Amino acid sequence: MALLQISEPGESNAPHQHRLAVGIDLGTTNSLVATLRSGEAVCLPDEQGCSLLPSVVHFDGRQALVGYEAQVLLSSDPLNTIASVKRLMGRGRDDVKRLGEVMPHEFVSAEDSAALRIRTAGGDYSAVEISSEILKELARRAEQSLGSDLAGVVITVPAYFDDAQRQATRDAARLAGVNLFRLLNEPTAAAVAYGLDRDADGLIAVYDFGGGTFDISILRLNKGVFEVLATGGDSSLGGDDMDHALGEWIIEQAGFTDIDALLARRILSAARSAKEQLSSAGSTTIRIEAPQPWQTEIKREQFEALIEPLVKKTLSACRRAVRDAGVAKQEVAEVVMVGGSTRVPLVQTMVGDYFGREPMNKLDPDQVVALGAAIQADILAGNKPDNEMLLLDVLPLSLGIETMGGLSEKIIDRNSAIPVAKAQEFTTFKDGQSAMSIHVVQGERELVSDCRSLARFELRGFPPMVAGAARIRVTYQVDADGLLSVSAQETTSGVTADIVVKPSYGLTDTEIESMLRASMEHAREDIELRMLKEQQVEARRVIEAIDAALAQDGSVLLDENELSQIQLKRDELQAAVGSGSTEELKNLIKAVEDVSETYVARRMNASVQQALTGKQIDEVDV
C-alpha cells in the first residue's frame, strides 16, 4: 500500500503475501546474489552450483556474455571483454587515465554525453550499462531459482563510494529493470549477516579487507537500530598489494632482471597462490616455470614479515575510525571480518590483538556482504513487519562548494548522519552581478582541485545589486542512499535553480530513458498496455490506502470540508479505474495526492506524537 501508509515500528502492516527480495553484492572481481530461505540467508548458485559470478562481461554484437563464459575470453579477446568495471563506475576520463595501464580498452566519449564508453565489437558501452548486464544476470538467476518476479533488490556499495559512484550504481539498477529498494554500505551488510542486530547492544567494528580496497566502519547497535558512527579506510590498499610485496621478494630472490609482461604475470600468480597456501600451511614452494625456471621454499613467517607493513596501515585507519567515532577501542564488543584478504592468519591475529578480542569469521568472507544485503532486502520488502531493524548511515565524504580562490567550503561534514539537509548563504563579489556559478565538490581536502567535482550549475537572472548585497542560499539535501540534490535561491528576489546532482561523468536522465526504451522494445513488450496496467494497479493501491487511512483516523484529523474534498477526488479516481486512459489515471492519482497532502503530514506528525508519548491518536486533544 502506498499513499498514507504509516507503519509503526513493531506494528504489522496490512497482511500481504511474501514478496521476493534479494541482496546483491556487485563486486569488483565477483558478484553474488542472496535471498532468505526459511528464515536463513543463502547465496543463490548458478546451474553448476557456483555462487560467485565473475564480474566480467563480453560483447560481440550478439547477446552479452556475463560471468565464467566471459571470463574465459579475457585472454583471447581482451578488447571486447571487460573485467573490474566497478573501478570505472562514476569515473571520468582523467580517472581512467590513471587506470589506463591495467585496462586494455579503447575509451570513447560521445559528443552529447559526458559518460565514457568502452569500444567493443558489439558497440560502445558505458560502465553503467556493463554493470547493468551483471545485475540482469543475477536477477535472472534469482527469478529462475525462486520461480517468481522480484519485488525489489538491495545492492551493496563500498562505504567509501562517493556520490558519483552511488548514482552510477543506482542508474545501473534502473537500466537492468530491477526495483532498487536501497543502496547499502557493504560493512553494514556484513554486520547484519552475522545477526548482530539480535545480539546485545554495543559497538561493532567491521574490518573489510578485499582484493583492492580496505574499509573500516564503526557501528553502534541499540535496540535493533544500527548506526554507522564512522567509516574510513584506504581505497587503494588490498590483497593485491600483498601479492605485489611477495612478487618483489621473488624478483629479488631469483635475481630476475629482464621482466616482461608475461613473466610479471607469472610472478604475480605464483605469489597469489603462495599467499593462499600459506593461509593454511606453515610453508610452501614457489615455482616459476618459464620463461626463466626458478623455485624456492617460503615460510609463513617470511611472508608475514613482508606483509606486516600493509596490515599496520589498515590498523592505522582503524585507529582513526575509532577516534572519529568518538569511542575507545576497548568499547568495541565485536569485530566482523569481511573480504578474502582476512583469510590471511596474520590479518586475523593483528586485528584481534588491536581490538583485544577474537574477530568473527564463521561466515564465508566472500559471501557475508551479499547475505546481509538479502536480510535487509527481506525487511524492506515488508516480509518481517515485526522486525525493528533500522540502519542509520553516515555520509562517507564531506560535501562542499567552491568558493573564491579555488577553496572548498564544507557544507556537510563527513560522518554526518543521513538523510541530512543543510543550507548556507553566499553573496556576490562584483557590483551588478546577476548570476552565480555553483560548483559542487566532494572530499576532505582544502583545495577544490584535490576534491572530486560532482556538478556545476548556475543561478541566473536575479536583479543586479551592489557586491555583497545578494543573499544566495544554497541547500544540500542528501537522501538515505547518500545521494545529493542541490538547490540555490537568491532570497531577496526569490529566483531559484536546482538540480539533482548528476555527476559530471554520469549519464543524463534522457540517456537512461532512451536506453530503457530501447531495451523495452527489444523485449517486444506492449509498452502502452503495460503502462496502463501499472497505472490501474497504482490507482487501486491509492484508493485502498486512502480508504484504510480514512477509516482509521479521517474523522479525527480532518474537518468535514477537508474530508469531503478528499472523498470527492477518491471517488473520481474510483470511477475511472476501469475505463480511464493512462494519462487520465495519472492525473487523477495526482489529484488525490495533492488534495491529501496536508492529511499525510498530519498523520505522520500524529504517529510521531504517538511514538513519543505512547498515546493513541484518538486520545489526543483535538
Partner 1 sequence: MQSPELNQNYFELFGLNPVFDIDCVALHAQQQRLQAVYHPDRHVDADDQKRRLSVQMASWVNQAYETLRDPVKRSRYLLEINGVSLPDDSATTSDAAFLMEQIDLREAVDACRHGDNGLERSQDIEARLEQRADQLAQDFVEHFSAQRHEAAIDSCRKMQFVQRIQQQLAELQFELEET
Q: Which residue has the cell 621478494?
A: 249
Q: Determine the Cα angle at 276 with ends 274 and 278, to 5°.
A: 70
User: Is position 86 annotated as part of the catalytic site?
Assistant: yes
Active-site option among 186, 215, 378, 402: 186
Nearer to partner 1, 224 or 345 (CB): 224
Cα 71 from Cα 581, distance rounded (Å): 47
Q: Indicate which residue of 133, 162, 208, 334 is catalytic.
A: 208
615 is catalytic: no
Backbone angles phi, psi at 426, to 5 degrees: -130, 170
Strand partners, 39: none
- Per the annotation, the verdict on 553 as an active-site residue is no
State in angstroms the smallest separation of the CB of 231 from partner 1.
16
Residue located via cell numbers 567509516? 231
Q: Give the CA distances from residue 21 to residues 219, 226, 379, 608, in Å, rounded to whole numbers and listed in that order.
A: 25, 21, 9, 29
The interface region with partner 1, picked from 39-47, 220-228, 235-243, 449-457 by CB under 8 A, is 220-228
- DSSP secondary structure letter of residue 618: G
Q: Is 310 in the site for partner 1 (CB under 8 A)?
A: no
CB nearer partner 1, residue 19 or residue 439: 19
The cell 612478487 sits on which residue? 247
C-alpha cell at 4: 498514507
Cα(486)–Cα(497) distance, integer angstroms: 9
Tell the smallest beta-carbon distance from residue 565 to partner 1 (Å).
Answer: 17
598 binds partner 1 (CB under 8 A): no
Q: Which of these, 75, 83, 77, lies nearest to 56 by C-alpha position? A: 83
Q: Is 14 in the site for partner 1 (CB under 8 A)?
A: no
Q: Which position among 140, 244, 323, 439 is part of the footprint of partner 1 (CB under 8 A)? A: 323
Q: Which residue, 203 or 606, has its beta carbon nearer to partner 1?
A: 606
Tell me if 417 contacts partner 1 by CB under 8 A. Answer: yes
Among 59, 125, 160, 181, binds partner 1 (CB under 8 A): 181
Q: In this structure, what C-alpha cell is assigned to residue 551?
A: 477509516
Residue in 291, 237, 304 with CA at minimum distance from that of residue 264: 291
Name the amino acid, one letter, at 464: P
| From 236-244, 386-394, 432-440, 460-468, span contacting partner 1 (CB under 8 A) | 386-394
Residue spans of beta strands (DSSP E) within 357-471? 390-392, 399-403, 407-412, 420-426, 433-442, 452-465
Question: Quick check: 500 binds partner 1 (CB under 8 A)?
Answer: no
Q: What angle do CA 439, 441, 446 make, to 5 degrees?
A: 110
Q: Is 289 a catalytic residue?
A: no
Count interface residues toward partner 1 (CB under 8 A): 56
User: Which CB, 122 or 385, lies closer to partner 1?
Assistant: 385
Binding mask 465-484 for partner 1 (x = CB under 8 A): ------------xxxx----
The nearer residue to partner 1, 407 or 620, going by C-beta atoms, is 620
Q: Does residue 418 bind partner 1 (CB under 8 A)?
A: yes
**Rule CB under 8 A: is residue 600 a binding residue for partner 1?**
yes
In the list 225, 327, 407, 548, the residue contacting partner 1 (rule: CB under 8 A) is: 225
Residue corresponding to grid cell 560502445 = 124
Does 499 bind partner 1 (CB under 8 A)? Our answer is: no
Q: Which residues pair with 497 in a beta bridge?
A: 488
> Segment contacting partner 1 (CB under 8 A): 68-76, 348-356, 427-435, 593-601?
593-601
Give residues with Cβ within 8 angstroms of 607, minimum separation 6: 6, 8, 617
Kindly indicate which of the ranges 255-263, 283-291, 420-428, 547-555 contains the residues binding partner 1, using the contact rule CB under 8 A: 420-428
**Separation between Cα atoms, residue 446 and residue 126, nearest integer Å:** 31
Q: Which of 106, 388, 444, 458 is close enough to bind partner 1 by CB under 8 A?
A: 388
What span, in angstroms and rounded, lies between the C-alpha atoms of 336 and 89?
A: 27
Instruction: Tell me if 320 contacts partner 1 by CB under 8 A.
Output: yes
Q: How far is CA 133 from CA 16, 85, 309, 522, in A?
A: 32, 11, 38, 15
What is the contact surface with partner 1 in residues (CB under 8 A)?
A: 1-9, 152, 181-182, 222-223, 225, 227, 316, 319-320, 323, 380-382, 388, 390-392, 416-422, 477-480, 542, 557, 593, 597, 600-602, 604-609, 611-612, 620-622
Active site residues: 25, 86, 186, 208
